[in-house]
A and B are shown apart, each in its own frame.
Chain A
């Protein structure tokens, strides 16, 4: 069909449609044709949101499927479906199928011609559909109005004897209004600069502006989920890890054995595997835990093994002389730990702990493999729907938002630990008359420009300052 003929048709469309409606309502009002029955079994639209929430969005392509059961003594010669005002649809790809057999699994292709008549798609069958068939009518390229709402379709059917009646019982389709991001993305994709930008394959695949805009709010939901997991898992892991570290340096062989085995097993196996075992294995063993708590538990158990090693190294880095000195002052083991060792240990392990936090946060992505809706999972669903890698780039940004400041924090903290020593030493020097008067400027230079290289060169900060 040419565009020309479509257009002329469209001009006639409204009047014909009105007449049709009028005639229909008239005939129904005068004499309800109770014997003519085409019962709607379902009328749905395929979910089209990039999200996996199964919503049907306005302003975005979808497919409408109507299914109905013909009366046992009526054969169909035509069907029509009328979409609400503001809805667009295409007659291309539209199809009617008759289903028979047990479970309606046997298909009979129905040869039909389709005409768009205003808001109505009219299907005329070359041969009548046999009586009592279950009929499916699929319309592709449907764009519901952007504003969404309850979309009430109407329809008519024509019997082989030429009588036309209304299809009864079509349920409304609930259409969600398109999100701000979606509308923005749609308007973006029409802009010339975006089209020019997207003509470059690399930019289109990795930094596609409309997809960037569209995926941001969706991936953000995953971001919140990942934060929720790590914000609970890490605080849980800290005490467990600390307890394990105490067990690891304990004199009792049994305690030491338990902790060592645990740490070695957890650190010696991939987290990915642990997640699989927990998510698929535990339920088989009859233990059913919902996804969120299970994710938190697996991650915190995993992280506690790493934290255990961090704490143990921290405790053991405190010179033995301090233990001995405390004990000689009359402190017992517990007092020594609480007031001498742990405060120093905490200061030393804080940077490594932060690094562990970063690792744990990144590891939440592994939960995607078991259907856990976090950053990567959301990004993946959009990638699958759009074929662009852009959502992964958005996902990467959501990791960097957390990891970059954290990394900076670690760096600052390490510097402070280092310069803290310097300050102490400087004070001592000052007392001895060698200091430069607590020059803050010098310290800034030290911390922000050259510490890394100074450390790499194997020179202590103190030596640097005296150079």
Chain B
């Protein structure tokens, strides 16, 4: 009976939490509809170098510099909330947790049904990495029964791997660090994710891995904003356009992608 009580209490807490979340998202006086006036709350999954990853306890990367530049342009303070990649869009849709999701989101029509995308600020491709000593030299070696490709769940890499490696087994992980760890430890034979990330990982922690396949999929990175908040999307678009015009974005790209 204590259990039932506990379960009831849990349900009550859940409902209360939801009600609170609902309140905070619907009630905002600022014309940008920000969670906290004057502050842009950015949701990100800091495991995606060179876009955003943790160095010590600090989040660094291309998108970090980008959102800081955006904050400066828009006169907003930036607050970063970390969450798992596949939790960001649901959080943006639900509201109450963040104003914008910036975490290497490629534009996808399906995603666009749930959230609004800003203008794109980067174009990336897909790549597949394997360990150098794995003996996998060509994509065909990997597209066979029993080979495992690690992907981050909810990413374009996941569906690209499924589409182009139908015979291999695709294993989903919560973040891209775990994908690479799985490849190194032999839990998976390969990792499929965005090219810029693969290059950054290979240049840094996984120098014993190599790219076995890549495809110019031309995915356009953009930020995701709730459909209830077109004013913010517009404001972000204006700021991105300005950053593009004054060369800031090119500068940042040159800094992070070499």
Contacts and interface: CB of A to CB of B under 8 A. Distances in A.
Interface string A44-72: 11110000101000000101010000000
Interface in B150-175: 150, 153-154, 158-160, 162-164, 166, 170-174
A410 B4 CA distance: 11
A106 B216 contact: yes
Contacts, number: 119
B135 interface: no
A47 B216 contact: no
A201 B181 CA distance: 39
A387 B114 contact: yes
Given A105-B125, A384-B90, 6 more contacts: A61-B110, A202-B18, A280-B182, A370-B182, A371-B171, A387-B89
Interface string A87-107: 000000100010100011111
A65 B163 contact: yes
Interface residues of B, number: 44
B1 interface: yes
Contact of A54 (B22, B150, B170, B214): B170
A279 B162 CA distance: 23
Contacts of B42: none
A452 B163 CA distance: 57
A377 B158 CA distance: 14
B86 interface: yes
A323 interface: no
A140 interface: yes
Contacts of A383: 86-87, 90
A280 B153 contact: no
Contacts of A326: none
A44 B163 contact: yes
Contact of A384 (B86, B150, B162): B86
Interface stretch (B30-38, B73-81, B184-192, B230-238): B184-192
A312 interface: no
B116 to A, nearest CB: 12
B115 interface: yes
B187 A52 contact: no
B56 interface: no
B245 interface: no
B3 interface: yes
A280 B3 contact: no
Interface in A152-180: none
Contacts of B87: 383-384
Contacts of B214: 103, 105
A110 B81 CA distance: 39
B138 to A, nearest CB: 12
A375 to B, nearest CB: 14
B163 A385 contact: no
A107 B218 contact: yes
Contact of A369 (B114, B115, B174): B174
Given A387-B89, A387-B90, A410-B3, A371 B182 contact: yes
A379 to B, nearest CB: 11
B21 to A, nearest CB: 9
Given A65-B163, A206-B18, A387 B93 contact: yes
Interface in B47-90: 86-87, 89-90
A267 B107 CA distance: 45
Contacts of B184: 284
A47 B163 contact: yes
Contact of A370 (B110, B163, B178, B186): B178
A386 interface: yes
A389 interface: yes
Nearest to B107: A93
Given A387-B93, A389-B94, A104 B216 contact: yes
Interface of A: 42, 44-47, 52, 54, 61, 63, 65, 93, 97, 99, 103-107, 136, 140-141, 201-202, 205-206, 279-284, 288, 291, 368-371, 377, 380-381, 383-389, 400, 404, 407, 410-411, 452
A462 to B, nearest CB: 20
A205 B93 contact: yes
Contacts of A377: 153, 172
B216 A105 contact: yes
A103 B164 CA distance: 16
Contact of A47 (B86, B159, B187, B215): B159
Interface in B1-45: 1-4, 7, 18, 22
Contacts of B218: 97, 107
Residue picked from B110, B114, B125, B158, most chain A C-beta under 10 Å:
B110
A75 B243 CA distance: 38
A420 to B, nearest CB: 18
Contact of A385 (B154, B166, B182): B154
A283 B185 contact: yes
B173 A370 contact: yes
15 contacts: A42-B164, A45-B163, A103-B214, A104-B215, A105-B214, A284-B184, A284-B186, A369-B174, A369-B178, A371-B178, A380-B153, A384-B87, A388-B90, A404-B7, A452-B1
Contacts of B171: 371
Contacts of B109: 61, 63, 93, 140-141
A332 B175 CA distance: 57
A123 B193 CA distance: 30
Contact of B166 (A54, A65, A389): A54
Nearest to A98: B216
